[in-house]
C-alpha cells in the first residue's frame, strides 16, 4: 500500500521515452499502480500507442504525447496539454536518452554534441518543467547509468552525459526544500533493451550478463519496480542516485 500523501485526484505520471524498452515497462508498472500515465515519444508514435493499448487493455488510463525533450517550447507545450487534460502532474519519470559508443579518441564530436543535447539539455529542460508543475507529494525520477562508476571502455561520452544528470539530480533535490517533492535518479546496469543490445556480439553480451552476482542481464521490469517505489511509497528516499544493477561491483 502506498504511503504517499492522500489526494482527491488520480495521480498523473509523465514518462518521457515511454515508448522505449525501460520507459514502456515503467509506464505499464505505474499504470498498474493506478496512475494515469502519459507515454511520451520523440517520433515513434506507433510504439507509444502500443504501450497505451497495453495499459488500457489491462484496465488502466493512458495517452500519448510527442515532443523533443531538448526543445523547451515543445516540452512546455507537452506539460500544458497534460495539465489541461488531467488537471496536474504528480510524477515525472525521465527515461528519454540516447547512447552512442566509441573510444574517446575515436568518437565523432557530432555524436558527443547529439548526446549532450538529448541527455544533458533534455534532462535540464524536462526537469525545469517538472519542478515548476509537480504537485505536493510528487516525485521526479531521472535516469542515469551504473557506467559512471563502472568506467567501461567506449562509454566515456555517454557516462559523462549521465554524470551531468547525477549532478542535476542531487542539486535539484536540495533546491526543492519545502515543496514535498522528491528528486532521485536510477542508474541501471546492463539491461536487456534494444538500446543496450544494439551492436554487441554474443560474447560481449554473455560477458556483461555474467558480471552481476545474479549472473544475468537486468530486465526492464527490474528497473520499473524501483521507479515505482520512488514514485509511490518511497517518500524518504530523496536526493539519491540509486544503482539498479544486480550487484555489479564498482
Active site residue ranges: 158
C-alpha to C-alpha distance for 10 and 59, rounded to whole angstroms: 14
Tallying the residues shown for the chain, one arrives at 250
For residue 166, which of 241, 70, 89 has the smallest C-alpha distance? 241
In this structure, what C-alpha cell is assigned to residue 213?
552476482
C-alpha to C-alpha distance for 186 and 38, rounded to whole angstroms: 20
H helices present in the chain, as ranges: 21-32, 45-57, 72-86, 109-115, 122-133, 147-150, 156-175, 194-197, 202-209, 220-231
Residue 143 sits at φ, ψ, to 5 deg, of -120, 120
C-alpha to C-alpha distance for 37 and 163, rounded to whole angstroms: 28
Identify the bridge partners of residue 37 per DSSP, sorted by sequence position. 13, 62
The sign of the dihedral angle between the CA atoms of 49, 52, 56, 61 is: negative
Identify the bridge partners of residue 141 per DSSP, sorted by sequence position. 93, 184
Amino acid at each position: 500500500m502506498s504511503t504517499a500523501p492522500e489526494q482527491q485526484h488520480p495521480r498523473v505520471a509523465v514518462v518521457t521515452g515511454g515508448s522505449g524498452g525501460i520507459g514502456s515497462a515503467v509506464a505499464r508498472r505505474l499504470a498498474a499502480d493506478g496512475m494515469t500515465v502519459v507515454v511520451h515519444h520523440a517520433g515513434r508514435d506507433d510504439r507509444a500507442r502500443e504501450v497505451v493499448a497495453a495499459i488500457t487493455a489491462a484496465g488502466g488510463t493512458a495517452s500519448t504525447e510527442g515532443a523533443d525533450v531538448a526543445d523547451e517550447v515543445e516540452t512546455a507545450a507537452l506539460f500544458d496539454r497534460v495539465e489541461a487534460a488531467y488537471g496536474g502532474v504528480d510524477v515525472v519519470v525521465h527515461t528519454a536518452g540516447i547512447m552512442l559508443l566509441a573510444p574517446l579518441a575515436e568518437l565523432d564530436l557530432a555524436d558527443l554534441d547529439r548526446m549532450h543535447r538529448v541527455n544533458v539539455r533534455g534532462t535540464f529542460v524536462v526537469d525545469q518543467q517538472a519542478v515548476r508543475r509537480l504537485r505536493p507529494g510528487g516525485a521526479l525520477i531521472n535516469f542515469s547509468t551504473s557506467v559512471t562508476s563502472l568506467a567501461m571502455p567506449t562509454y566515456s561520452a555517454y557516462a559523462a552525459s549521465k554524470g551531468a544528470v547525477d549532478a542535476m539530480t542531487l542539486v535539484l533535490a536540495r533546491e526543492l526544500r519545502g515543496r514535498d517533492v522528491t528528486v532521485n535518479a536510477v542508474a541501471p546496469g546492463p539491461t536487456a533493451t534494444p538500446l543496450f543490445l544494439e551492436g554487441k556480439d554474443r560474447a560481449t553480451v554473455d560477458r556483461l550478463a555474467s558480471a552481476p552476482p545474479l549472473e544475468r542481464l537486468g530486465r526492464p521490469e527490474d528497473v520499473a519496480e524501483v521507479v515505482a517505489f520512488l514514485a509511490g511509497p518511497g517518500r524518504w528516499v530523496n536526493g539519491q542516485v540509486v544503482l539498479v544493477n544486480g550487484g555489479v561491483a564498482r
